[in-house]
Structure 1
Amino acid sequence: MPSWLKEGRGSLCGANVSLLLREMGITKPLLVAGERTKNVFFARTGMRLPVFDAFHPNPDLQDCVAGAALYQEKDCDGLISVGGGSAMDTAKGIKALLMTNIAHVRANQLPPEGNVPHLAIPGTAGTGAETTAVAVLYEDGQKLSVDHPALLPDGVLLDGSLLDTLPEYHRKSCAMDALAQGIESWWAKKATPGSRIHAERAIRGVLDNLTAYMQGDRKAQDEMLHAAYESGAAILTTRTTAAHAMSYQITKKLGAAHGHACMLTLPHLWAHLAAQAEYQPMLTELAHILDGEKPMDGAVLLKGLLAVLELDKIPMPDDATLDMLAASVNPERLGNHPEALTMAQLRAIYVQAFTPMTDTERAEAIAAWEQYGK
């Protein structure tokens, strides 16, 4: 977990940031942020810092090369990232390149420690990247995950007011990402009693606050931001499983945002596990966190949640695209899923994810979601 944490609405201010920077030993940080978030940062803190904002929504390794060059040119001694996962992953990539050369970054071979302290300030409630040690980057269109303990941000500042202007679809998708991370972490092969505490906090935090959050309730925004933080803390230990592994090409080829793409397959992955006796005790325990009683209850509730959020309808891809989706799934990520999945099973789960529910199924699923917390 990060060594320093400051949390609370309005906590993004000059006094708090200055205090955190002093505690982290940073005197001249490089700010990594997009156009909107850098302006918010400057307005809230009154600071003037060198800025790196030339990164893509899916950060490219070469973006990080440019950022590292600017860091050295400006003689910086630390990083501040403000925004969503793109800004935080870019900052982590910059740190990796300051620790070693690009070939070692590609090979995920970083030295044990790096003297580049990093303060992360999330502007979305979803990825939990502020509490993970992974930088998701791209090179020549291919995904590159740089995973190393030294990439864990040293400090985190959580301010729910940064979510005030998030568009509706981003609110939905980011919340689904945090929820998916919580569920996947809970059932992951690498789960521990400690990681499951964080995972349960993430799951309950999202579900308890989602309705109010979507209505713009400020307290719910603060709680949702903390739930995302907890989801990141959970996957810091366990990493993700099949829903995340299956999501990347849905985003790339079909345009669904990352969290939305994860949640499309998650209910069907749950149902696939629930059909097998060996996983039913585990899923019964997990269903209790979602106020369910039986192994399948969680899958039904998640389908209802997708329906209420109007995230359940994406047209069925053609056969060639379905084949590509199934073939694209990273076997290493699948290795952390509770069961081994064949390519034929993956393809069948994609088909189920894109198949509309019947009117009866939809009504039952929505009813299950509406009963949550009652």
Structure 2
Amino acid sequence: MAGLNVTMLQPVGIVCTDDLGETLLQIMRDKGYRRPLFVTDSFVITMPLVRAAISRLGEEGIEVGVFDEVRPDPMSGTVAAGVKAFREHRADSIIAIGGGSSMDVARGVNIVRVNGGSIIDYTDPAKPIAPCPGMIAVPTTSGTGSELSNALVVTDEATNRKLAVLANPAVSELAVLCADLMLTLPANMTIACGLDAFCHAAEGYLSRMASPVADAICEKVMFLLTNYLPAAVANGKDRRARERVMVAATLAGWALNNSGTIVGHSIAHVLGSKYHIVHGEAVGYALPAVMEFVAPARPDKVREIGQILGVNYPEGVSNDEAVSMAVAAVKHFRDRVLELHPVEEYGIDADEFASNAQAVVDERFAGNTPREITVNDAEAMLRAFGAR
């Protein structure tokens, strides 16, 4: 396929299961892995389903190592520590189990253990990355889509900046989806993760890298989240709602590989690293202003997002009116249906947010936005961040 502009590719095998232990055991047998390293955090490793899966592997002679030092907004040093743990365990594979941070660390470990150096080296797009097999991804949240994504985000400890690595050779070998892992996810995390997935789809839909096939997936992701995320928030034990939301987040990760994200994620990366705003909340706070900014370049798509959220446009409605209705629908879904807490609870004023305009313009994903972004444009979006 050399020279072809392939706009849709999905190399990750996906398994849906209601028996995590047996599924992981079958994967180990099929792939010939005997010494997996679990990469996770200190809470997920205590979950009964996870403990039971580790026990089941042990019963069959699979020697499991555990690296449970992952924290939110993972640092480059955590990846280095994970590489050390991989080597000390003499691991032959990685089972990444948790949210996006665990997936990011695991992918970073897999890149460095195969290619050497530091994970920060690979934030340079020119740095080659050899194929990195052996990662099995098991999400415990429904948001990042990292189980299918080719991206990871890590904070450089030297500069405190969030940096991205995009690595098609380092996608998961397999993604294992088990809705039972989501049933105890608190409502606030369900909201944040669901908004992250919705914004992956919305931003990918609006991206300059969008394609017709990816657009269809993004539309379905937004539809599923509009219809099932409120039920998962209202009743975390609703397994069908959890499964639908989980599938939407995974599909959004697929779309993310092909369409990317735009300036909403740039805003979230800059503000998240500086003020520790929860990522899924940050992209949700950013989306309405991003839609307004992109609307001159993508008016039909902005209208479509509103329609997915239930807007019925009057006959003859102008583009400006339609955009306003679509933006209002996003705010209603975010603030009234899901009840995301107001951004003011972070205690940061608009002037402080606006001071980050240049950093947003310079952030990697801003270039996918289908309009050129000036510092004044970024400042305007930052001043509207979280407006209700």
Structure-2 residue corresponding to 1:34: 41
Q: CA 1:282 to 1:206, structure 2 compared with 1: closer, same or farther past 3 Å?
A: closer
8 Å Cα contact 1:58/1:138 also seen in 2: yes
Q: Which whole-Å CA distance do the structure 1 matches of 2:335 and 2:13 have between them? A: 39
User: How many Å apart are 1:42 and its aligned residue?
Assistant: 2.1
CA distance in 2, matches of 1:85, 1:352: 27
Kindly state the Cα deviation for residue 296 of structure 1 after the two structures are TM-superposed.
3.4
Deviates more, 1:304-313 or 1:174-183: 304-313
Instruction: Report the residue type matching 1:258 in the other structure.
Output: H
Q: For residues 208 and 52 of structure 1, do their structure 2 counterparts lie closer, same or farther at Cα, with a shift above 3 Å needed?
A: same
Residue type matched to 2:27 in 1? L
SS at match of 2:385: helix
Query: Is 1:18 matched up with 2:47?
Result: no
**Equivalent-residue separation in structure 2 for 1:286 and 1:339 (angstroms):** 18
Match of 2:213 in 1: 194
Q: Secondary structure at the match of 1:102?
A: coil
Within the candidate set 268, 276, 297, 2:325 is matched to: 297
Evaluate the alpha carbon distance shift between residue 218 and residue 22 of structure 1 in structure 2; reply closer, same or farther with a 3 A threshold: same
In structure 2, the CA distance between the partners of 1:11 and 1:195, relative to structure 1 (3 Å rule), is: farther
In the alignment, structure 1 residue 327 sits paired with structure 2 residue 358: yes
Structure 2 contact 12–173 (Cα < 8 Å) conserved: yes
In 1, Cα distance between equivalents of 2:138 and 2:184: 16
With over 3 angstroms needed to count, the CA separation of the structure-2 counterparts of 1:176 and 1:60, relative to structure 1, is: same
Change in 2 beyond 3 A, CA 1:176/1:106: closer
Which residue of structure 2 aligns with residue 338 of structure 1?
A: 370
Give, as a single letter, the amino acid of the residue that structure 2 aligns with 1:344.
N
Q: Could you tell me which residue of structure 2 aligns to residue 229 of structure 1?
A: 250
SS in 2 for 1:35: coil
4+ residue segments displaced more than 6 Å:
none
Alpha-carbon deviation of 1:301? Answer: 0.8
SS in 2 for 1:247: helix
Cross-structure match for 1:110:
128
Secondary structure at the residue paired with 1:333? helix
Query: Judging changes above 3 Å, is the alpha-carbon distance between structure 1 residues 238 and 79 closer, same or farther for their aligned structure 2 residues?
Result: same
Contact preservation (8 Å) 2:137, 2:174: yes
Whether the 8 Å CA contact 1:265–1:349 is kept in 2: the answer is yes
Structure 2: distance between partners of 1:126 and 1:319: 27
**In 2 relative to 1, CA 147–287 (structure 1 residues): closer, same or farther, beyond 3 Å?**
same
Unpaired segments ≥5 residues, structure 2: 1-9, 59-63, 314-321
Matched, 1:99 2:107: no
Q: Would you say the 8 A contact 2:150–2:257 is kept in 1?
A: yes
Contact in 2 for aligned 1:52/1:70 (Cα 8 Å): yes
Q: TM-score, normalised by structure 2?
A: 0.84
**Secondary structure at the counterpart of residue 131 of structure 1:** coil
Select which of 12, 16, 27 maps to 1:7: 16
Contact conserved, 2:114 with 2:130, CA < 8 A, in 1?
A: no
Cα pair 1:17 1:45 within 8 Å, conserved: no
* Per-residue Cα deviation, 1:8-41 (whole angstroms, up to 9, x for no partner): 4x2312x211112233332211111112322331
For the residue of structure 2 that corresponds to 1:340, the secondary structure is coil
- Residue identity matched to 1:346: A
Map Cα deviations across residues 319-374 of structure 1 (whole Å, 9 max, x no partner): 6523432122134311111212211121112222344x4xxxxxxxxxxxxxxxxx
What secondary structure does 1:59 align onto? coil
1:124-147 alpha-carbon deviations (Å, 9 max, x no partner): 000000011112111221222121
Q: What residue number does 1:119 align with?
A: 136
1:307 lines up with 2:307 in the alignment: no
Identical positions, percent: 24
Letter in 2 for 1:94: V
- The equivalent residue for 1:176 is 195
Distance in 1, Cα, partners of 2:227 & 2:350: 39
Question: Does the 8 Å CA contact 2:206/2:369 hold for their aligned counterparts?
Answer: yes
1:272 match: secondary structure:
helix
The offset of 1:289, in angstroms, is 3.0
**Residues 183, 199 of structure 1: 8 Å contact kept:** yes
Aligned letter for 2:329?
L
Distance 2:363 2:45 in 1: 38
Is contact 2:191–2:233 with CA below 8 Å preserved after alignment? yes
Aligned residue for 2:71, secondary structure, equals: coil
Where structure 1 has 5 or more consecutive residues not aligned to the other structure, the ranges are 358-374
CA contact (8 A) 1:33 1:82 kept: yes
Counterpart AA for 1:127 = T
Maintained 8 Å contact 2:104/2:154: yes
Q: Distance in 2 between matches of 1:282 and 1:200?
A: 10
